[in-house]
């Protein structure tokens, strides 16, 4: 059997911690650090929080004051959906949107993974005038399973015409694609640190000036009354350092699209029956979602693991169990959804890694078909 170095290609689940984030967190550990304290220790902690806020804002293309730190993307999604009474979203959102509200209407997606804007328009037009101010459209920027990018410019025009606020889960988009929150028509955006090489357990909700946000947690009124609870200084410092580093390596993701395309071309040439989800739509350059061969994704993920490569099957579930992907089902993948493997590169991924995964992919699938 060919021996390969352990290779991590599951960055959409989480990215390896960047060294700069590790150093920033180590430096933040130790001194007493409540950013609300008025003494020197507190002021030093406040400075670190505000520097991290500027770094996150720099990568997101917004004002520092728009950044509300949270415990991650899940909280950011729940926080914003909790402000509204009626939600219009898509069938392909992350569970932290799909499960965050009792009153949700789902817009269809097209087979290429993009939202069906005609169906969105129908849903929006059906909202009674009296409900528009209390309704929110929530549509992700990039899908975690397929990498498919949503047409947010069209979506924000539809939202603006109807006078309905727009939120976007930008957890997968942030740091992998250029982002200009301030000049978008988006009111709120969710971010997460661990997808860009920061620590898990910290993220942010971006809030455009003039958009309301009240804390779901009742308490000390931190984050200008928008998210109570003493700030997670260590996590926030790591998030800020990761954002600064990510700002410096944007070109890496543009190059990665070429490596990913070459990987897909090789797999398609060797295994003609493969299906690549979202291939005809604009996608993040780091993601490939492929169904090949007769074996379930779960079996193949184990085979990849034995071969020294970490990839995933559909969405990574917290319990470790793999369910058939609701994203691929919504795209009409049918039984192929249970066979789809996701390969996702990150800040530490090299061209040779995509070449190695292509070799192993072809070898493993040739063995099993």
Instruction: Name the residues that contact ligand PLP, by CB under 6 A.
Output: 72-74, 94, 96, 140, 144, 169, 171-172, 192, 203
Q: How far apart are CA 222 and CA 252, in angstroms?
A: 36
Q: Which is nearer to ligand PLP, 138 or 356 (CB)?
A: 138
Is 77 within 8 Å of 189 (Cβ atoms)? no
Q: How far is the CB of 201 from ligand PLP (least distance, A)?
A: 8
Q: Which is nearer to ligand PLP, 146 or 172 (CB)?
A: 172
Question: Could you count the other beta carbons within 10 Å of the beta carbon of residue 320?
Answer: 6
Given the residues 62, 117, 289, 317, the one annotated as active site: 317
Q: How far apart are CA 108 and CA 117, in angstroms?
A: 9
Q: How far apart are CA 4 and CA 225, in angstroms?
A: 51
What tokens does 45 get? 């902690």
Q: How far is the CB of 67 from ligand PLP (least distance, A)?
A: 15
Is 10 within 8 Å of 344 (Cβ atoms)? yes
Rounded to the nearest 10 degrees, the angle between the axes of helix 250-270 and helix 233-248 is 70
φ, ψ (nearest 5 deg) of residue 283 = -135, 160
Nearest residue to ligand PLP on Cβ basis: 73
Tell me whether residue 317 is one of the annotated catalytic residues.
yes
Q: How far apart are the first and last CA of the chain?
A: 18
Is 117 within 8 Å of 154 (Cβ atoms)? yes
Q: How far is the CB of 125 from ligand PLP (least distance, A)?
A: 27
Q: Which is nearer to ligand PLP, 94 or 114 (CB)?
A: 94
Q: Which is nearer to ligand PLP, 35 or 72 (CB)?
A: 72
What tokens does 350 get? 């090299």
Q: How far apart are CA 169 and CA 141, in angstroms?
A: 6
What tokens does 47 get? 């400075």
Q: Which is nearer to ligand PLP, 203 or 238 (CB)?
A: 203
Q: How far is the CB of 194 from ligand PLP (least distance, A)?
A: 6
What tokens does 170 get? 């930008």
φ, ψ (nearest 5 deg) of residue 313 = -110, 110
Of 343, 270, 273, 338, nearest to 304 by C-alpha is 343
* Catalytic machinery residues: 317
């Amino acid at each position: 059997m060919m021996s390969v170095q352990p290779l991590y290609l599951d960055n959409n689940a989480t990215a390896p911690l960047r060294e700069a984030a590790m150093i920033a967190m180590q430096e933040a550990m130790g001194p007493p650090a409540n950013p609300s304290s008025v003494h020197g220790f507190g002021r030093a902690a406040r400075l670190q929080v505000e520097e991290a806020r500027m770094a996150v804002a720099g990568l997101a293309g917004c004002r520092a004051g728009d950044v509300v730190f949270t415990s991650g993307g899940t909280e950011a999604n729940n926080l914003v959906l909790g402000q509204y009474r009626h939600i219009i979203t898509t069938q392909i959102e992350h569970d932290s949107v799909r499960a965050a509200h009792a009153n949700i209407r789902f817009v269809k997606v097209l087979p290429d993974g993009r939202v069906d804007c005609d169906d969105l328009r129908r849903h929006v037009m059906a909202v009674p005038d009296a409900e528009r101010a209390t309704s929110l459209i929530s549509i992700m920027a990039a899908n975690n399973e397929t990498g498919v990018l949503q047409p947010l410019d069209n979506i924000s025009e539809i939202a603006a015409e109807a006078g309905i606020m727009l939120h976007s889960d930008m957890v997968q988009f942030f740091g992998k694609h250029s982002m200009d929150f301030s000049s978008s028509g988006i009111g709120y955006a969710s971010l997460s640190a661990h997808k860009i090489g920061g620590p898990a357990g910290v993220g942010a909700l971006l809030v455009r000036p003039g958009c309301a946000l009240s804390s779901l947690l009742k308490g000390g009124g931190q984050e200008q009354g928008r998210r109570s609870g003493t700030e997670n200084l260590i996590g926030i410092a790591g998030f800020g350092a990761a954002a600064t580093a990510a700002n410096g390596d944007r070109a890496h993701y543009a190059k990665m699209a070429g490596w990913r395309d070459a990987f897909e071309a090789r797999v398609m040439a060797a295994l003609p029956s493969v299906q690549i989800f979202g291939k005809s739509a604009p996608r993040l350059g780091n993601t490939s979602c492929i169904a090949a061969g007769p074996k379930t994704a779960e079996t193949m993920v184990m085979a990849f693991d034995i071969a020294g490569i970490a990839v995933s099957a559909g969405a990574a579930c917290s319990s470790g169990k793999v369910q058939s992907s609701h994203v691929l089902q919504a795209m009409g993948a049918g039984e192929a959804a249970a066979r789809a493997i996701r390969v996702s590169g990150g800040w530490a991924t090299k061209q040779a890694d995509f070449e190695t995964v292509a070799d192993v992919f072809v070898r493993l699938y040739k063995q099993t078909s």
